[in-house]
Amino acid sequence: MLYPVIMAGGNGSRLWPLSRQLNPKQFLALAGGTSTLLQSTLQRLQGLELAAPRLICNEQHRFLAAEQLRNIHIENASILLEPFGRNTAPAIALAALNVIEEDPSGLLLVLAADHVIENVAAFHAAIARAESLAADGRLVTFGIVPTHAETGYGYIERGEELGANGFQVQRFVEKPDAGTAEAYLATGRYVWNSGMFMFRAARYLEELELLQPEILACCRRALDEGQRDLDFIRIGAAAFADCPDDSIDYAVMERTSAAAMVPLDAGWSDIGSWSALWDISPKDDLGNALHGDVLTQSTQNCYVHSDSRLVATLGVSDLVIVETKDAVLVANKGSAQELKKIIDQIKADGRHEHLNHREVYRPWGVYDSIDNGERYQVKRITVKPGAKLSLQMHHHRAEHWIVVSGAAQVTIGDKTTLVTENQSTYIPIGQVHCLENPGKIPLELIEVQSGSYLGEDDIVRFEDIYGRA
């Protein structure tokens, strides 16, 4: 049986300000339509005979991932939560160990959650070829047939043919300079390294034990020390902290004698930069990719994205312009790869725009920080029907809630009341309280916080149905 393993642990900082640390690109709808990249990754597997998927993501993204799977009616996935990132070799080892418990002969199809593949039929055909090689004990990687001399990807040189299904891997090579990339392209022997794989779970673990036994030992301990929590499998943090940080390429694929490559020509992109997103986006007659409320005059070859207001451009070309509620990026398309410098500056200045958007999703709904000052903050809060915030208290802030629509069941101390539209309630500093939506429609309210400290870490939880500490 074939088990999809979806790697969804990245931060996607190269697509800031849309992608943030707590809401990275794999959870965003960037490739057109309403499906996120994660959802599209799973949807393009429809039509294949597959077992329930394994999703590997960061603990911080657990509710976001679970909600997106539920929205596309995937109810049986196993979601493995990494307490922190340790790169792809350990992550895949965790999935392999999990699958072997269910199926000792299971095949893993390892995919990134943030790739775009336009030709699904060609993708399925490549999977079928890879399955034949993997069944024979090969560790298969998918090599993207290059369309140009790209310097942003690693390359794979193909070796001898393995029948009609693929090739032996001659060698992996690092990201080349422009001249070397041109030379690779001219030979016809090189493909881009996609970071997608297929192999038997047991075969991967066998090679890992031979080549990087410490990774395997740490992952086994981390799973043994882990625990199930709602829809999630929490990985033991203490054991996982000791695990070496290594990619599957360095740990296994570049060192094994069993590596094989199946070529894939299917309109692939890893959307690794704003210019890459412009490449795959529909464009107007002047080469502009436009999203949201955008007006252009004398504008060409630009990517312009508006989240919340009108963006107008005049007399510009080759720019990336991205507007969100709390940040605006204006960059030359050729410089967009240097976004890390902006992220580093934001962090150094003690700012938070790299972490999350103004709108923040929680398992019970969403809040939007619409205004703030030195000793106050105003939020618009939406609570899903039947959802409930934790029983909690704050040391430094008081809160005033005004219900805009729906009904709120409010517990303050030992008293519970129903607060309806145009009514309000007040929670003093230090008072234990809880908010619940008992109705059938979303509850919307305005929260006004006041106090000496308004950070999200000033929350002491006593009870929480979502298992948060």
Distance of alpha carbon 166 from alpha carbon 206, whole angstroms: 22
pTM: 0.90
In the structure, what pLDDT confidence band is assigned to residue 361 with cuts at 50, 70 and 90? Answer: confident
Query: Would the CA dihedral through 25, 31, 34, 39 be positive or negative?
Result: negative
Q: State residue 456's pLDDT score.
A: 87
Average pLDDT, the chain: 95
pLDDT tens readout for residues 7-17: 999 888 899 99
Q: Identify the pLDDT of residue 12.
A: 81
Q: What is the mean pLDDT of residues 36-43?
A: 97
Instruction: Give 194-210 pLDDT, tens digit per residue.
Output: 999 999 999 999 999 99
Residues 127 and 142: their CA atoms lie apart, in Å, by 9
Residue 469 has what pLDDT?
66
Q: What are the chain's domains? A: 2-269 (3.90.550.10), 274-343 (no CATH), 359-463 (2.60.120.10)
pLDDT tens digits, 77-123:
999 999 999 999 999 999 999 999 999 999 999 999 999 999 999 99
Asked if residue 468 has pLDDT above 90, the reply is: no
